[in-house]
Each structure stands twice: as structure tokens, then as C-alpha cells.
Amino acid sequence: MRILYLGDIVGRPGRAAVKKHLPAIREAEALDMVLANAENASGGLGLTAEGAGELFASGLDGLSSGNHIWKYRDMPSYMQREPRLIRPANYPPGMPGRGFTVLQKPGLAPVALINLMGRTFMQAIDCPFRAAEAILAELDETRPDVKIRLIDFHAETTSEKASLGWFLDGRVSAVLGTHTHVQTADARLLKQGTAFMSDLGMCGPVDSCLGMSIQPILRKFLTAAPERFEVADGPVALTGAILDIDDENGRALAIRAWRFNV
């Protein structure tokens, strides 16, 4: 199976670029499935039910998220009824939504999509390593047929992301980092067949600070005064990674960093 996983979609420019170009990208890259992190897809921070619906209508097969997923009031109830959208699994019990899902497309092997969030320089939540082990044990018991297992690890530091990659090497198909909006140059296959990449980057404006307008962020750094951030204008790039995975055993065969300039 060939899967494209897109980095954080940022605001209207990111959503519009995905909508316009995804059909051609699917064909050009011979993709079986396209996934994305969407926690910044509405206004550059958070995700609305309308924004999520727009992304699914654009052809995305599944969406993961992160620490900003709770910003809009309509999102908790939307997550309860939309199984293709997940939030980090290591939030404490009782939070709305689900931390993993199984995606099934006609004629293709099922894919488990798992979302975790880091703790270093992030919110103090439950352990992502133990949450991963619990989810894999549940899948082994209830869905042993699901061999392809992908993890979006929404985390701040490369060290925590790399540690989770090695911790799960050979037990999942891929550990892919999101959150920093900067595509890293470390896409590789680990020793036991897990694909790894520290960060997929973002789908958003190129001339920006992580997708946001430059000047307010410069003023904040120069003055330390509060500023209102807005999504930048201008040219957009879509970034992520393309994975080739063995349907039979879930081992990754290849991973490559991917970029599309709009």
C-alpha cells in the first residue's frame, strides 16, 4: 500500500491547496490513501466541524490532530460522531473522541491510525509510550488482521519523537512526527522495519513563520508584548511523507520526504 501523510494543514490556504491539488497528486503518486494532521486547519489554530468536513470532501481518508483540537466548541461532539478524525490517545480517560481508528477502503488492507502527543515542553498528560503499548495490545486482541499501523506523534522535541520510534520499531508500520511545521531531513527505515520521520512539516504559506504572518511574530520577539497571529498569504507548499508498506505484515518498505509547491 502507498500512503501519503501530510503535515499540519494551516488555515484556509492549506485547506484550499489540498482541495485543489489532491486529485492530481493522488494520480501522479499512485496513492492508495492520504492522511493528514488537521489541528491547525481552521484559522491557523484549531479545527471546526465545517473545516473537517471540507477536508474529508477534498479526499482525505483520515485526520489526526494535537493539542489545539479543543479550541472550537463544535469539535468535541463532531469527534464523537466522526470516526475518521482522532485526537491524541494519551489524554486522560473521559475526554471526547478517540485516540485511534481503523480505516478501511474497498479493495485495500485495513489501516490503524493512532494519534499520540508528546510531553516534553508540552502539556502534562498521560505517557505516550504506555498509551501506545495499550493500543497495540488492544489491536492485537480485537483486530489482529490490521497489520498496517501508523502513528502520528504530535510532539515538540526530536529526541522524544526518535525515542518513540525506536521504542516501537518492528511493532508499527510508521512513527511520523508533527507539530513543529518544519519538515525534517531524517526520513528512514529503522532496523526492524518501522518507517520514521521526526516531522512531516506543514501544508501552508511558505513566506511565513510556521504558516503565520511574519510581522506580528517579529514584533512579539522584539517587544515581548502580546500580538494577534494571523495566517499568512502568498505561495503555499504541501509537505509530508510517502510510505510504501507491505500489506501482509505491515512492515514499511520505503519512506521518502515529499513536497509539492503550489
| Contact call for residues 194 and 169 (beta carbons, < 8 A) | yes
Name the catalytic one among 68, 154, 179, 181.
68
User: Residue 135 phi/psi, 5° resolution?
Assistant: -65, -45
Question: What is the rounded distance in angstroms from the CA atom of residue 15 to the CA atom of residue 204?
Answer: 8
Identity (one letter) of the amino acid at 118? G
- Concerning whether 21 is annotated as a catalytic residue, the answer is no
| Contact call for residues 67 and 117 (beta carbons, < 8 A) | yes
Can you read off the three cell numbers belonging to residue 76? 468535541
Can you read off the three cell numbers belonging to residue 46? 484549531
Active site residues: 68
